[in-house]
Structure 1
Amino acid sequence: MTLPQNTTNSDKSHSRFHPWLKIFLYIGLIAVIIGVAYRFYGVFSSTSEHSHYVVEQPVAATIVKKSHLPVILTELGTVVPISNVTVQTRISGYLQQVFFTEGQLVKKNDLLALIDPRPSEALKAQYEGNLKADTALLQQAKLDNKRYQTLLKQNSIAPMTAQDQQYKVAQLEGQVKTDQALIKQQELNLIYCHIRAPVDGRIGIRQVDAGNYITEGQSGGLATLTQMTPMSVIFTLPENQLGIVLEALKNKKELTVEAWNTDNTTKLATGKTSVIDSQIDTSTGTVRLRAIFENKNWELFPNQFVNAHLLVKVIKDALILPNNAIQTGPNGSFVYVIQKDSTVKIQTIKTGYNDGEHTVITAGLVENEKIVTDGIDTLHEGSKVIIPENTQSSE
């Protein structure tokens, strides 16, 4: 009976101290957690501070240099032949012969087709016969008129008879002139029966075959004759750019124009322009220009779409930067200038002409300054930078 009583007393003693032990254990655990947290906070703060001020950010850079920058205006244009003629007949008749082949190059006045000339030849012969008869009548009337005038002076004929003879002579003279005009008309028709090339060029697909009856002003004509050399390109220019082009034409009679393909990847030909349309199209706010190209090898084809690159002028000794170096902020355009200590400084600049790849710097920079072109997103005033090898731009 004693053993159970001792066990019970021991349990009571243990239970009396157990709550205090738990409290001490909790306090110790909290102290350990606070210490570990403080340790990690100190390490993190030190690492963050070190990264903010010490870590160098890799960037690409370029040197500000002076260069000649051409001012080029790029506009969409269309290849338009200087001469594009629909070959028409000027007389109605049966198409007797066709002397050209489709796609053939022809010279001005080359014979292209023949319309049956026999009706015109027959009419010409008829009018020549009429002319001969009327000429004989006129000669006889003139002789009679001369005799009547002599008799009139001798008072041997009535004045009215002599005057009637004079009218007859005038009438026959008019008839002779009419006959002569009719003969010339048929001669002209015989010329029209021979259809000739009005200009040098390349003839297109034939619209009418030999044996058909064709009429004057027939729709589509015989074929289309297109002048291939030289060739022109018509392109439009926005009205707000017209001033610099007119100013350039005051100094130079002609401006250089390059024709590029629609993707702007291949130059097709180089030509000149000096022709500006006489008015602005109010519906589009543009004005048309025509550029002339030699087109010896047919680089340009009628109705082809091209990009016209108009060289207006060349800006000499300009400070230029690639466009990716220039940023825009609340105060306007700015760049990151790399200092001697490898930190960057924000520099506000003023810009001029932009050709799509480079921009002229008119104020804010000097030659040979080093400017960040890539890796800009994480930079701020005073950032430390490093330029890895083979990343510095040569522009």
Structure 2
Amino acid sequence: MNLRFESPRPATQRGAVWPWMLALAVVLAALGGWWWHARSTQPAAGGAEPGARAGGAGGGPGGANRRFGAGVQPVSVQPAELRDIRVVVDAIGSISASNTAVVRAQVAGVLQSLSFKEGQQVKAGQVIAQIDPRAFRAALGQAEGTLARDRAQLENARIDLARYRDLLAKDAIAKQQLDTQEALVRQLEGTVQTDRAAVETARLQLSYTRVVAPISGRVGLKQADLGNLVQTGDANGLVTITQTQPIALVFAVPSAHLPQITAKLRANEPLVVEAWDRGGAQRLALGRLATIDNAIDPATDTIKAKAEFANRDEALFPNQSVSVKLELDTQENALAVPPAAVLRGARGFYVYVVGADGTVSTRVVKTGAVDGDWMAVSGALQAGERVVIDGVDRLREGAKVEVIASDPRLRAGASEPPGGGRRGPPGAAPAAGAAPGPDAASRPYRRASAPFEAGRAP
């Protein structure tokens, strides 16, 4: 029997594995330490949101609860007020000129001069252009000469008629000769009358060479240049004049407001109309409702209305699109709250009211007209009671709250630098050796307001 013995593995091969195992252990330890460090520093890097969530869930050791305590919600409030609330109808309208005239040449000729500047205001009857008048003056002179000749013939015929009447009375001529002379006089009288009309026509044609403004208003861009041969049939004419003082605004309102509008118009009570820019940021003009259309549009269930504006500052232009506010009525001493305070739930509309003990309670209200930043309400609410306008998304009946300023710039700590130290006057350097400011836990409420501001009630 042959026995085979294998020599043991050399020690150098077993020892080569240990360095790799040691390196792997070091890497794993480093990764674990990095993960633990990142998790322990996550609240500081993530801002106050985790703390705010913990506070909203019932309180925790971080975020907003450090400032307000567990279960306390930061909110902004506004007292309910008695105000005059306007009942306003919003619409979109278009500005239109009171009158528009396209000035055309009434006679053909060469354009000699333009007596206006584009965009200027002109008065009715003001000369704005001149057409070459020489041909028309010559025509007038010819007509006047023909009239003078025929007048002379008429005078001579009338003298002969008087002579023939004397001769007929003496029985010196035949009656037929007198009748013929009388017919000649009547013929010449008709000729003279025609000549007078020809003279008036020639004089009128001559006056048309001076082009005048038919209405007062603003002239647009010229449509003909000097030296051009203008015709009476030119489609664009010489220039367009739009009457912008006063100016009109046409808009449509729902037919549901028609009874109230017609009652005001019959009583000659002025209805105020405001014209705003399309963004609603700037009021352009203030006017009065002039009239309404004679029929309701069945497709939109609206009726057209026209308002007039003095437009002395020329802030309105024809074909301009504007936002319209038609004031139908005014509710005097109405209880009003900001629209952001009004919420809608299963019981209808309600508001949160902050009591003297710092707890909130719900009050069911009925909404009314909205006038800018205020809404008329009625219900179990009194003037002076504080309603929540910011931070309502996490509120419940009886919840504890702490009131903060509605403007983030006015809140405590809003002007502190990121480092937490006190900020001096603008541009001032920090004092030497100044102590570091408080950390996020002791700093006045600032960051925790972000979730509540983002969840502001509609």
The alignment's TM-score, normalised by the length of structure 1, stands at: 0.75
Task: Please tell me the residue identity of whatever aligns with 2:113.
Answer: Q
For 1:211, which of 216, 221, 227 is the aligned residue? 227
Q: Distance in 2 between matches of 1:252 and 1:349?
A: 35
Does structure 2 conserve the Cα–Cα contact (< 8 Å) formed by 1:207 and 1:223?
Answer: yes
Give the whole-Å Cα distance in 2 for the aligned partners of 1:154 and 1:142. Answer: 19
Pair 1:320 & 2:322 matched: no
Deviation by residue 1:108-143 (Cα, 9 ceiling, x = unmatched): 333222212122212211111211121122112222
Aligned partner of 2:80 in structure 1 is 64
Question: Could you tell me which of 221, 236, 257 is aligned with 2:252?
Answer: 236
Worse-superposed segment, 368-377 or 133-142? 368-377
Task: Give the one of 316, 336, 347 matched to 1:300.
Answer: 316
> What is the rounded CA distance, in whole Å, between the counterparts of 2:226 and 2:127 in structure 1?
14
Tell me if the contact between 2:153 and 2:188 (Cα under 8 Å) persists in the aligned partners.
Answer: yes
Match of 2:261 among 245, 261, 285: 245
- Residue matched to 1:183: 199
User: Alpha carbons of 1:155 and 1:109: their partners in 2 closer, same or farther (altered >3 Å)?
Assistant: same
C-alpha contact (below 8 Å) 1:68/1:317 kept by paired residues? yes
User: Could you report, residue by residue, the CA deviation over 1:356-390 in whole angstroms, capped at 9, with x for unpaired residues?
Assistant: 6432123343333343333333444x432223343
1:108 aligns with 2:85: no
Return the structure number with greater helix share: 1
Aligned position for 2:405: 390
Provide the residue aligned with 1:87 in structure 2. Answer: 103
- Alignment partners' CA distance in 1, 2:310 and 2:140: 47
1:244 alignment partner AA:
Q
CA positional deviation for 1:170 = 1.6
Q: Secondary structure at the match of 2:305?
A: strand
What percent of counterpart residues are identical?
Answer: 33
| Cα distance, 1:56–1:100 mapped onto 2, change above 3 Å | closer
Give the whole-Å Cα distance in 1 for the aligned partners of 2:285 and 2:404. Answer: 40
CA distance in 1, matches of 2:225, 2:175: 66
Query: Which stretch of structure 1 is more off in the superposition, 102-111 or 283-292?
Result: 102-111
Give distance in 2, aligned partners of 1:56 and 1:354: 32
Q: CA RMSD in A?
A: 3.0
Which residue pairs with 1:36 in the alignment? none
**Offset at 1:282?**
4.4
SS at match of 1:175: helix
Which of residues 388, 399, 404 is equivalent to 1:372? 388
Structure 2 unmatched runs, 5+: 1-56, 60-69, 408-458
Higher radius of gyration, 1 or 2: 1
Matched, 1:124 2:149: no
Structure 1 unmatched ranges of 5 or more? 1-48
Q: In the alignment, what sits opposite 1:291?
A: 308
Opposite residue 275 of structure 2, the aligned amino acid is: A
Structural mapping, 1:12-23, within 5 Å = none
1:82 aligned counterpart, secondary structure:
strand
Aligned-pair CA distance for 1:91: 1.1
Counterpart code for 1:358: W
| AA aligned opposite 1:295 | R
Higher relative contact order (CA 8 A, sep 6+): 1
Note the alpha carbon deviations across 1:224-250, whole angstroms, 9 max, x for none.
233444443333323223333333445
Does structure 2 retain, via aligned residues, the 8 Å contact 1:354–1:360? Answer: yes
1:4 aligns to what? Answer: none
1:81-118 deviation per Cα after TM superposition (whole angstroms, max 9, x unaligned): 33332221111222233333433443433322221212
Amino acid at match of 2:77: A
One-letter code of the match for 2:185? V
Equivalent residue of 1:211, what SS? coil
CA deviation string 1:264-317 (max 9, x = no partner): 112223333333344444454231212213333x32233322223333332110
Partner of 1:18: none
Equivalent pair of 1:61/1:387 in contact (CA under 8 Å): no
Shift of residue 58 of structure 1? 3.8
The verdict on how the C-alpha distance between 1:371 and 1:124 changes in structure 2, with shifts beyond 3 A counting, is same
1:351 maps to a residue whose letter is T
Secondary structure in 2 matching 1:270:
strand
Tell me the amino acid that sits aligned with residue 304 of structure 2.
V
The alpha-carbon deviation at position 184 of structure 1 amounts to: 0.4
